[in-house]
Every structure is written in C-alpha cells, then in structure tokens.
C-alpha cells in the first residue's frame, strides 16, 4: 500500500468534502434517501477509492481488482458519489438517484449498475457474501493477490445473519477479508445502545476469533494504518470498528438519529452546502 | 399404457419395484457435476449425510463448506462464491432452505441473478415421523414466486441425478426439491430428459384421454397407479410429469388441456401457491377447463408413516381417482 503523506491527506480531505456536497445535491434532488450514514462514511469511502483499493474505474471488471461489498445499501449516495468522483460514471448521472429508469437505484442493484460487487439493502447479508468471495479466492489461491472489503453498519449487527457470518469467518481464518463497521451509534428508531445494545462490541468480535482494531472513521492517517495492520494479519479476519459521526460535516445533521432515513429539503440543502463549502 | 417412447421402467407396476431416494440421485449427480467442473462447490448446514452431500464432500474436501446450522449464512456465502465464479450447491432441509432463508435467497441470489442452486431435501408430508414442523409444504410456492429462480421437482432418483447435472451447467439460480423417502424408480437412464420440458408418462392405448393428470415429485408414482386402475374402469387418462415447475411448460399443459378438457393436479405441497396453482395460472389465461387440485388443504402435517399421512391428507391413489371422476362430471355437466 502506498505511503499516505500529509499532502495526500489534504487532497483526500478536500475530495471527501466534494463528495459530501455531491451527496447533499443528490439527496435534495431525489427528495428522499439516507443522509446521516452517507455523510458519516464519506471519509472512509474517499480513503478507499482514492488510496487503498486496487481498482480501475475504466475497467470495472478487472479480474485482479480488490472487491468492496457495501452491506448496508441504504447509504448508497456515498457509494455512488464516490464512484462518480473516481470516474466510474459521469457526475451528471448523480442527479438521477432514485428516479425512474436510473442506474442509481434507491438501494444498489447490480442489474442496473453491473459493476457493483453486489446488490444490497436488506441488512445483515453483505458480510456473508464477502465471506463467499474470500473463500472462493482461497480455493482458487487468489487470496494473496487481493483483499475483499466489506463495509457494514452497526445497526445491522442486530441481524442474526451478521453473527452467523462473523462466527463462520472466524472459524475459517479468512485473513483476506477486512470488514469496516460504521460505528455511528444510530439506527432508525434511535441510538443503538437504546434499541439493542451492541457493546462491548470489540469484545464480541474478539470472542468470535476476529482481529479487532478500533479507530476514528474521520482520521485518514489512523484509518490507513488500521487497514495496513489488517492486511498484515495472516491468522484471522480483521474488523475495523470505525467510530464515525453520523451526518458528519453539517452541524444540524450531526449525531441526530432523525437524519438516518430522510433527505434535506432545498433550503436545508443550501445551508448544508454553504457550510461544507466554507469548511 | 406407459409412454413407449420414454423407455420408462417396465417393472414399475410390479410389487418388488426397486426404490431409492431422490436425494441419493442428487448426491450422485453432485459428485458427477463436481468431477466435470472444478467450479462446482457444495455448502451444507449440518446435514451432510441427510442431503447426500457426503459423496461430494469425501471426494472434494476443499470444495465442500460446512456452514453449521446457519441457513441464512449458507446461501449468502453461496451468493458470494457465485459472484467469484463458483457454482454453489447449498443444501439443507427444505423447511429451512428455503423456509428460513427466503429473503437472503431473494435478494442475494435471485435479485443478484447469481447461479446458486438451492437444495431442499426432506420436502413434503412424506417426511413422516419427524412431524409437521419438519414437513415443508410451502417451498414450491416460496420459490416460484421469486423472479429469476427455476424450480425443479424430480419424480425419482434417476431424474434427480439428471436435473442436478443440468442445473450445474446453467447460469441461473435454481431450487431443487427432494424427498426423504425411498420411492419407486419410474424412469431409466435411457429415458430422454430435457430441462423445462414436461413429459407424458401414461397415455390411453388408443384414442384421446378424458382427463389429464399433472403431477410432480414423489406423487408421480401414485398418479400412475391411479391412471392404471382408472383404465380398467374404462376411464382414459394421461399423466404428465412436471419435473420443471418453473419455467413452466405452457405448451405441453395447454395441449393436454385441449385434448382432455379436464385436469387434475397432484402434489405433496399446499394447494395454495404450489404446482397446481402454477398450472391453473396457465390454463385460466389460455384454455380454461375444470381443474381439481390434490394437495394439502391449508393444514400442517403431523407424525406418521408416509403412507398414513398421504391417506390422511387426501393425496393417495384413491383420492386421485376420486378427483378424476369428479372433474369428469364437472366437464360433462
């Protein structure tokens, strides 16, 4: 993995801010969608698509690419915006989010956007799919050539399927699988610890034989180091529990679970864009 | 008479007709498919011997994945492996697979259009002694309602093997329904088999049939017994084996309805949403004729021998004969 210089970090910070602005514009235009998680994960998506991932936007089906599976499909505005900024499709297309005939479905669907690694939306099944890909690479002895990354939410750890997957990956010692949990502490009905407490979350993953790293989801340097450590681990799968601020970048949206599943209106959007532009 | 063109088992009506399970046919087919294509992998949820996946697991230990009692994980791992170019066969009891993991099958396999093969063994009331909790009577309905998935229900061990080999070659998601019990071997290795094509197993010696019996899975044998007895009573029938429930062979069904103008469907499944419903959807739109449905009538099963349960829930030979006579009356009245 390439060294992450302070200069590159500045470029990434600027890029993440641009992506946040795209997210706001898309959501205002779509009049519905998920704001908090999308903004909260913008730094992580930026770091991956512009620094970590081995990929080629001009050749999305490149056989040797790293694979990134988004499990919590509802935060797709950040996926689409980052992919557009990375050159997978024209920026103009972002305006079509959630509209009839769009490739940018309300939740990702690879029938419409074939270079997605999977379709997602219903929670709790992304990690199992990532496991399937990691297992296949092991069988084919491709596990040294690339990593399988799974981005998932903390809320979807309520799902039993998630824990089936976590238990299984621990057993199979899938070191080529790296999971990022967006630990933003919110879900639709409220704070995660009020709905179904997840803590002690790191201990739970450890107990299931995972290598666990906790890190801020907005600190590019620490995040990058965490991914490096995960890549070096050969005995276990790694989970990076990334503490993020839902709605990050727009004060009015930050840390408020009510912004989980709604989009800003035109006025709120304009204020948010102004705040991001002045950041 | 048995359709002479299909080279069916000539001793099918003998007392000592050879019996075997459809799951055995699947196990043998999976092994052969694994030998033919290294991308074939098998995943099982703690029922390796019950599903007969042990044959594959012993030969290809690296390509066999034990998922434990976790059916949701079973099929979603399958989806991921299919995304990476594998042809996964995911096996468990039908009550759990697709009973418990339906949404994962819908979203990660069918919606993604990944060629994962769902193997539901121990389907139907004929599971017997294990009781109602383990008798999947809803699986055909659950699977055929999902776009992209093909649904198969073999009548015997040989057909089960042929279907397994065929679905290993297709690029589509598939559901294969298997029974627990040993059932009479109806077909032979020489019986022509074409995926998606319904076949007439029984036909009148001369002239047109008065009633068409459409059946699937282990009920095909009962339907043949009923047809043979009805013949001695002067009622001419045709028996159609519908091994592929989806995509359904519309032309064959419409042709049969045009000849007979009365249909009886027979399956070991709830009447609601099952194979008979699929047949009714075709006929109601294309060539409406009276239909009688043999199947479980909105009830759960219970413990008992397969034969006791078949009789209790009205799926037996006598019930088929009664339904044929009833539909014959409806047709002429």
Q: What CATH number does the domain containing A256 carry?
A: 3.40.50.970
Residues in chain A closer than 8 A to B41 (CB atoms): 136, 139
Give just the sign of the alpha carbon dihedral A68, A74, A75, A76.
positive
Residue ranges in chain A whose pLDDT is less than 70: 1
DSSP symbols for A49-87: IIII----TTSTT-TT--EEEESSGGGHHHHHHHHHHHT
**Shared fold status for B19-184 and B196-332:** yes
- Of the partner residues A110, A130, A164, the one whose CB lies closest to the CB of residue B112: A110
pLDDT attached to residue A72: 98
- Nearest CA of chain B to the CA of A276: how many Å? 36
Is B159 noted as a catalytic residue in this protein?
Answer: no
pLDDT attached to residue A1: 60
Does B315 contact chain A (CB < 8 Å)? no
pLDDT in tens, B256-280: 999 999 999 999 999 999 999 999 9
Residues in chain A closer than 8 A to B85 (CB atoms): 136, 140
The answer to whether residue A67 is domain-embedded is: yes
Residues in chain B closer than 8 A to A109 (CB atoms): 111
Residue A123 DSSP SS3: coil
* Domain enclosing residue A246, as ranges: 6-277
At the second CATH level, the architecture of B196-332 is 3-Layer(aba) Sandwich (3.40)
* CA angle at A205 for the pair A204 and A210, rounded to the nearest 5°: 150
- Nearest CA of chain A to the CA of B68: how many Å? 8
The answer to whether residue A227 is domain-embedded is: yes
Q: Using CB atoms and an 8 Å cut-off, which of residues 26-45 of chain B contact chain A?
A: 41
> Nearest to residue B213, comparing CAs of B276, B160, B150?
B276
CB A81 within 8 A of CB A61: no
Rounded to two decimals, the ipTM of the complex is 0.95
User: Is the bond into B247 cis (omega within 30 degrees of 0)?
Assistant: yes
Domain boundaries, chain B: 19-184, 196-332
Cβ pair B81:A160 closer than 8 A:
no
pLDDT attached to residue B332: 76
Residues in chain B closer than 8 A to A115 (CB atoms): none
pLDDT attached to residue A20: 98
Tokens of A222: 């620490």
CB B178 within 8 A of CB B160: yes
> Nearest to residue A22, comparing CAs of A96, A72, A105?
A96
CB A130 within 8 A of CB A137: no
Residue B121 DSSP SS3: strand
pLDDT in tens, B207-250: 999 999 999 999 999 999 999 999 999 999 999 999 999 999 99
Contacts for B4-7: CB closer than 8 Å, 24+ residues apart: B5/B192, B6/B187, B6/B191, B6/B192, B6/B199, B6/B201, B7/B188, B7/B190, B7/B191, B7/B192
Q: How many domains does chain A have?
A: 1
Cβ pair B112:A117 closer than 8 A:
no
Does B286 contact chain A (CB < 8 Å)? no
The answer to whether residue A86 is domain-embedded is: yes
> Nearest to residue A212, comparing CAs of A243, A244, A248, A246?
A243
Structure-token match 């909260």, residue found: A40
Cβ pair A128:B111 closer than 8 A:
no
Q: Using CB atoms within 10 A of its CB, is residue A1 exposed (0-12), middle (13-18) or buried (19+)?
A: exposed
Cβ pair B76:A110 closer than 8 A:
no
Tokens of A269: 């959007």
Structure-token match 């907005």, residue found: A218
Residue ranges in chain B whose pLDDT is less than 70: none
Task: Please state the CATH superfamily assignment of the domain spanning residues B19-184 in this structure.
Answer: Thiamin diphosphate (ThDP)-binding fold, Pyr/PP domains (3.40.50.970)
The answer to whether residue A1 is domain-embedded is: no
* CA angle at B71 for the pair A172 and B302, rounded to the nearest 5°: 145
Does A64 contact chain B (CB < 8 Å)? no
User: Is the bond into A200 cis (omega within 30 degrees of 0)?
Assistant: yes
């Amino acid at each position: 993995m390439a060294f992450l210089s302070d200069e590159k970090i500045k470029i990434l910070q600027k890029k993440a801010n641009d992506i946040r602005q795209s997210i706001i514009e898309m959501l205002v235009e779509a009049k519905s969608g998920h704001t908090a998680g999308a903004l909260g994960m913008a730094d992580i998506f930026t770091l991956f698509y512009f620094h970590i991932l081995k990929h080629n936007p001009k050749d999305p089906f490149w056989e040797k690419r790293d694979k990134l599976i988004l499990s919590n499909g509802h935060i797709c505005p950040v996926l689409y915006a980052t992919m557009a900024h990375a050159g997978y499709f024209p920026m103009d297309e972002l305006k079509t989010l959630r509209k009839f005939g769009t490739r940018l479905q309300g939740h990702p669907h690879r029938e419409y956007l074939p270079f997605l690694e999977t379709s997602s939306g219903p929670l709790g099944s992304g990690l199992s799919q990532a496991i399937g890909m990691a297992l296949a690479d092991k069988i084919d002895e491709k596990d040294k050539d690339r990593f399988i990354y799974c981005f998932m939410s903390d809320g979807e750890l309520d799902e039993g399927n998630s824990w089936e997957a976590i238990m299984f990956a621990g057993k199979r010692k899938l070191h080529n699988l790296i999971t990022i949990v967006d630990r933003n502490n919110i879900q639709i009905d409220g704070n995660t610890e009020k709905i179904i407490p997840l803590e002690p979350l790191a201990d739970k993953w450890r107990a299931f034989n995972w290598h666990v790293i906790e890190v801020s989801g907005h600190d590019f340097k620490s995040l990058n180091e965490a991914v490096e450590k995960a890549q070096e681990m050969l005995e276990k799968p790694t989970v990076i529990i990334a503490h993020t601020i839902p709605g990050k970048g727009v004060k009015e949206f930050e840390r408020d679970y009510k912004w989980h599943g709604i989009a800003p209106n035109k006025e709120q959007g304009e204020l948010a864009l102004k705040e991001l532009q002045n950041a | 008479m048995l359709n002479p063109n299909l080279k069916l088992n000539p001793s099918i009506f003998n007392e000592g007709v050879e019996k075997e399970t459809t799951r055995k046919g699947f196990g043998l087919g999976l092994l052969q498919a694994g030998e033919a294509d290294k991308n074939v992998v098998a995943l099982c949820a703690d029922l390796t011997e019950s599903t007969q996946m042990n044959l594959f697991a012993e030969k290809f230990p690296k390509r066999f994945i034990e998922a434990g009692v976790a059916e949701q994980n079973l099929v979603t791992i399958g989806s991921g492996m299919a995304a990476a170019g594998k042809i996964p066969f995911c096996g468990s009891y039908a009550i759990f697979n697709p009973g418990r993991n339906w949404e994962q099958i819908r979203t990660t396999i069918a919606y993604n259009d990944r060629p994962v093969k769902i193997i539901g063994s121990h389907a139907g009331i004929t599971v017997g002694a294990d009781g109602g909790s383990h008798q999947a009577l809803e699986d055909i309905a659950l699977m055929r309602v999902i776009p992209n998935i093909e649904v198969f229900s073999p009548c015997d061990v040989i057909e089960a093997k042929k279907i397994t080999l065929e679905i290993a070659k297709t690029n589509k998601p598939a559901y294969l329904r298997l029974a627990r019990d040993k059932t009479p071997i109806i077909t032979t290795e020489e019986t022509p088999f074409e995926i998606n094509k319904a076949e007439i197993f029984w036909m009148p010696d001369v002239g047109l049939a008065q009633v068409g019996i459409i059946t699937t899975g282990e009920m095909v044998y009962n339907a043949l017994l009923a047809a043979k007895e009805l013949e001695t009573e002067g009622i001419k029938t045709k028996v159609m084996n519908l091994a592929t429930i989806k995509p359904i062979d519309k032309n064959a069904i419409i042709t049969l309805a045009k000849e007979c103008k009365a249909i009886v469907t027979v399956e070991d499944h709830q009447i609601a949403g099952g194979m008979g419903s699929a047949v009714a959807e075709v006929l109601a739109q294309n060539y409406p004729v009276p239909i009688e449905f043999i199947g479980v009538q909105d009830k759960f099963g219970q413990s008992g021998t397969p034969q006791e349960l078949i009789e209790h829930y009205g799926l037996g030979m006598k019930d088929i004969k009664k339904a044929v006579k009833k539909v014959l009356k409806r047709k002429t009245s």
